[in-house]
Structures are given as C-alpha cells and as structure tokens.
Amino acid sequence: MSRNWKIRIAIGLVIVAFAYFQRCSRTEENPYTGREQAIALNAQDEIALGLQSAPQMIQEYGGLYQNQELQDQVDYVGQKLVRSTVAKDSPYQFDFHLLADGETINAFALPGGQVFITYALYSRLQNEDQLAGVLGHEIGHVLGRHSSERIAESDFWRTVSQGANVGANAGDLVAGIGQNTLLTNGRGDELESDDLGVRFMMETGYDPYEMIQVMEILKAAAGPSRVPEFQSTHPDPDNRIEKIKESIQKYKGGS
C-alpha cells in the first residue's frame, strides 16, 4: 500500500509539473496590452473559433435585428473604432452584429473579432458615444485575447486536477481553486476591457465620460437585486465607474 501511494504521488507530481511547463510555454506578451498572459490559441484559431460559434450565438439571441438602418449604425461606430485604433493593425476580422433579443441587456465578443450587442441594450443607449463605449469595450476583449487566456487557464487547472486526483484524490479541491481563479481573472478581463474601451473612445474622438453613463444604464437595469460582486464574473458597476475615471485621467495625461 505504501509503495502504491508513493507511485501515485510521483505520477501526480509529474502531471502537475507538465501542466506548469505547458502553461509557461504558452506565455507571451500581448502586443496590445503589454501584459504577459498564457494563450491557448493563435490568432487564426481565434478567428476560426469565433466564426464557427457566431451562428449559434445569433440563434440563441433570436436572430439578427431586422432593421438595416440600426445595423448600419452599429457597423459604422464599430468600424470607426477599429480604423482609429491599434485594432486596425491586428490580424482580427471585426464584424459587428445587432441581435434581435429585446429582453436581455447584453453585449459580448467572440474570439477573433465577432462582436454582438442585443437590441435590449442598444435601445437603452442615448447617443453614439455610449454605443462606442459598449463596442470599444468588446473590441478590448478581443485584443486582450481573454477567451484564449481563459481556455489556457481552464486547460491548466484541468490538468492539475487530474494530477491531484492521481496523487491524493484531491481533484475536487484543486478544481475549485481553479474555478475561483477563473472568476477573479474574469473580473480583471472586464476592467482591462473598460480601460481599453476608454482608450479607443478617446483615440476615435468620442467622449469617454459616456462610458460612465453606460455603467449607470447597466446599474439601473440590474436594479437593487443585482448579484453581489463576489458572486459575479463582472465587477460592480460602481467599482467599474471609479476605474473608468482613473483610465480617463491616465489617457488624458498621456495625450
């Protein structure tokens, strides 16, 4: 029994070491943020994954909103942001979609450049600058390579969990640690995208303070029963507002 236990521990440690080595080998500096991050997919794989997933996402949100004038506005603002920022020099293929869902207040981006906003959110925006804030934030997710980073993190913790299972039957504990790490990093992704969104708005000539108004819209839509920050992958709107103000001052100082 003692020998078998030692063998299991040794195998578990080898698996964990492999996970760590794999994670380190995937680490690179993001040219758009300057941040070191583990990446699971290259740019072409991100584009392919986004294009493959887009039809399903469109279907889940009731299809595309059938108003070409509004879709054209979303395209105009999105492409204006791309042309005026580092996004234009990226390999990503940005497409902007207005979804028909009139109930779900949401915007999101798939890896590689597929960006979506629901009509429910679009209809609450009061001007073009606010739309630019939403789309700039989503462009930030793409350039931040957050989906690829999350996949790399998931792969790492899955492998570590397997090693823990072999070594000490502690896989559930380690998997839980991995989930908490992903949750925390998810909030970091949102703040990084807010920061990039502010930068992109200012570089394109939009009023960055309208990003604060977007946060107020999201806060009002969530109401008093919104999920506490510690239970959510998104930072609390009030915390995001403070960070957005800091970003505005930061980029004003650098201009």
State the Rg of the chain over Cα.
20
Cβ contacts of residue 236 below 8 Å, gap of 6+? Answer: 228, 229
Strand partners of residue 116: 97, 108
CA dihedral 241, 83, 42, 134 (to 10 degrees): 30
Q: 41 φ, ψ to 5°?
A: -125, 145
The total number of residues written for the chain in this structure: 255
Of 142, 146, 140, the residue nearest 211 (C-alpha)? 140
Cβ contacts of residue 212 below 8 Å, gap of 6+? Answer: 241, 244, 245
- The amino acid that residue 28 corresponds to is E
- The amino acid that residue 65 corresponds to is Y
Are 126 and 182 in contact by the 8 Å Cβ rule? The answer is no
Are 213 and 248 in contact by the 8 Å Cβ rule? The answer is no
Q: 29 φ, ψ to 5°?
A: -85, 130
Q: d(Cα 151, Cα 42) in Å, to the nearest integer? A: 12
Pairing of strands 95-99, 114-118: parallel
- The DSSP 8-state label assigned to residue 30 in this structure reads -
> What tens digit of pLDDT does each residue of 79-88 get?
999 999 999 9
Q: d(Cα 113, Cα 208) in Å, to the nearest integer? A: 22
> What's the pLDDT score for residue 93?
92
- The amino acid that residue 58 corresponds to is I
Q: Which runs of consecutive H residues, i.e. helices, occur in 144-236?
A: 146-168, 171-204, 209-222
What residues of the chain score a pLDDT lower than 70? Answer: 1-26, 152-185, 223-234, 254-255
> What tens digit of pLDDT does each residue of 4-59 get?
655 555 544 444 444 444 544 558 899 888 899 888 888 999 999 899 999 999 99
Q: What is the pTM of this model?
A: 0.77
